A and B are shown apart, each in its own frame.
Chain A
Amino acid sequence: MKRFLPVLPFLWLGAFVLLPVVITLKISLSAPATAQPPYLPVLDWSAGLEGWGSFLEALDFTNFETLAQDALYRDAALSSLTLAAIATAILALIGTPIAHAMARAPARMQPILLALVIVPFWTSFLIRIYAWIAILKPEGLLSAALMKLGLIARPLEILNTQGAVLIGLTYAYLPFMVLPLYAVLAKLDPRLTEAAADLGAGPVRAFWSVTLPLARPGLAAGALLCFVPMVGEFIIPDLLGGSDTLMLGRVLWSEFFSNRDWPLASAVAILVLVLVLGPLLFFREADRDGREASR
């Protein structure tokens, strides 16, 4: 029992994280024609090595060929990556001043500010995105406010565009960027920026040469926490994007729920996984380097 307990969570994770991904990979390599389970080829465990041989022979790359050839998937992949990258950049730009300001706030204020950033982070994602529909739609609050101020003459056509998706991504993921950045900045010795100022650096140089390089692990963690889920994001492009806003999460969803093409949906899932694996490893390295540098 004592030896078994620590193993239990890893058995669970193996069964419900690792194994499903393996199965997805397998199904993505099965023929697209079979729209109903069981998906061929089926690995016959009892046949041993022979079973493996026939299994490997029967693997089918048609789904990935489809992904490569059909412009829809290429565009979706490209626009997922582009939108996620732009949103991550925007988040870094607006998240850094917020986290920096939090870290420099009076000590008794910091737990309150932290809670204020965490609450939306845990508040229903769906609802927070839903709120933006009411704000962004042509007869919504933003248009009404801007028209009242005389800044625009006609209602904004922003809902169902990539702009709306970017706003939604930025809004939904802001806490994911701010929290890791704050964690790093709050631990930063204030003497370091004082030393920079003492040595003649103005606030801007002190920030660029001392604060920002030392905040790099937080920036890397924040970028990772935002970019990776954003690439596979479904709710935001579905609710805020137009019919032309293609993102992989949404394509996967419609392949699965509308077209019922499970093997192709699996192939899209594998594609998303491969696309985010690169940045994942890259950020891990950057994170490790950053940690070593700041040790």
Chain B
Amino acid sequence: MARTTSPGRLTCAGLGKRFGDHAAVTDLNLDLAAGQFLCLLGPSGCGKSTLLRLIAGFETPSSGTIRLDGRDITAEPPHRRPVNMMFQSYALFPHMSVAANIAYGLNRLGRAARGERVDELLRLVRLDGFGARRPDTLSGGQRQRVALARALARSPQVLLLDEPLGALDRALREETQGELRGLQRRLGTSFIVVTHDPAEAMALADRIGVMDRGRLVQIGDAATLYERPANRFVAGLLGDVNLIEGRVLARDAAGIATVETPCGPLLAAGQVEGACVIALRPERLTVSEDPGQASSSLTGQVLDTTYLGDRVRTQVRLADGRLWRVSAPAGSKTMPAGTDVHLSYRPEAAWSMPA
């Protein structure tokens, strides 16, 4: 149904952007294969929106280059780039109808072809018959779809979406996530979505790029980021995590390191040498009263237990006083506060990162 675009390979090399003293984006390298769905994830002010605006051409980089299929587009003004953007506020032209908004980028097309393309796009976003309406008569979800159709009209090689679902309520957001994903698969266009919501990033993207203070700290699929985070920031961003500092003492043939920690030696996967931090997701820990056969365990005391519906969360105070959280499926055996317990895990589930 929809016209297929020729997706482009986007390459950012050494990209930097300064606003006065503030470095919004620093030495950023990104290689997005054609047809990929990338999410840029990070807290507000991390530079993800600036990166999007650099790719769209609204900002001129202070350093570095942006290439599309090998062609340097760094100096190209936004209106010449085969890249389109869906704005967070949608930026629909209030003085134009829905159809005129969608047709805005199609002025090179003949009248008939333009009309056809607009109808095709309206069908694509399931807004047939809304062409004559004004944007201010539409609901938030409808406006979002008009903005999407308008940005897709020129069949961009890369579509940039700035918090595309930010203004929608939760139920609509989940529904729209699926639609966006399906649309991207059908069209084969490269999508770059900026979001601050890790769940949304995981639900949408092939790859997630985590940004922190202007730098791209890690890029990979959701599982890699979750299981093998590059640092504490990534580990904490993607979900609840227990952390403990230590020093790598030795590493066995399978790559499992023995780490000296304030709570005794622990086993963990990873490639770090020397000082490190071990990350352990709460659901990878098991609480029990007896030490069991686990090769790696810690001891502590139950502080409290909280029933959360689908799971049970236990807070445990470790020997050195720190609090760790353990998450177990609902129905697991709960222990009263004050119980001395052992926390055990499979060594591959623990991940050592640079301190």
Contacts and interface: CB of A to CB of B under 8 A. Distances in A.
A294 B143 CA distance: 16
Give the one of B78, B107, B136, B151 with max A CB within 10 A: B78
A196 B153 CA distance: 13
Contacts of B130: none
Contacts of B92: 195
29 contacts: A189-B89, A189-B91, A194-B85, A195-B85, A195-B91, A195-B92, A196-B79, A196-B104, A197-B57, A197-B58, A198-B79, A198-B84, A198-B85, A198-B105, A198-B151, A199-B79, A199-B105, A199-B150, A201-B79, A201-B104, A201-B107, A202-B77, A206-B79, A209-B104, A210-B93, A214-B93, A214-B94, A293-B95, A295-B94
Nearest to A209: B104
Interface in A133-189: 189
A266 to B, nearest CB: 44
A189 B92 CA distance: 10
Interface string B62-78: 00000000000000011
B93 A200 contact: no
B87 A200 contact: no
In the complex, the 3 A-B pairs of residues with the closest C-beta atoms, listed nearest first? A199-B105, A191-B91, A195-B91
Give the one of A191, A197, A198 with max B CB within 10 A: A198
Given A210-B93, A294-B94, A295-B94, A195 B87 contact: yes
Nearest to A293: B95
Chain B interface residue count: which class?
20 to 34
Given A197-B78, A199-B104, A201-B104, A191 B87 contact: yes
A5 to B, nearest CB: 38
A207 to B, nearest CB: 12
Chain A interface residue count: which class?
20 to 34
Nearest to B89: A191
Given A189-B89, A194-B56, A197-B57, 5 more contacts: A194-B91, A198-B78, A198-B83, A201-B107, A213-B95
Interface in B89-103: 89, 91-95
B123 interface: no
B289 to A, nearest CB: 59
Contacts, number: 71
Give the one of A197, A199, A200 with max B CB within 10 A: A199
B94 A293 contact: yes
Given A194-B78, A295-B136, A199 B91 contact: no
A192 interface: yes
B173 interface: no
B346 interface: no
A67 B143 CA distance: 57
Give the one of B79, B87, B150 with max A CB within 10 A: B79
Contacts of B181: none
Contact of B84 (A199, A205, A293): A199
Given A202-B79, A209-B104, A295-B136, A194 B95 contact: no
Contacts of B87: 191, 194-195
A295 B135 CA distance: 10
B154 interface: yes
Interface in B21-75: 56-58
Contacts of B94: 214, 293-295
Interface in A208-250: 209-210, 213-214
Contacts of B153: 199
Give the one of A189, A200, A201, A209 with max B CB within 10 A: A200
A200 B156 CA distance: 11
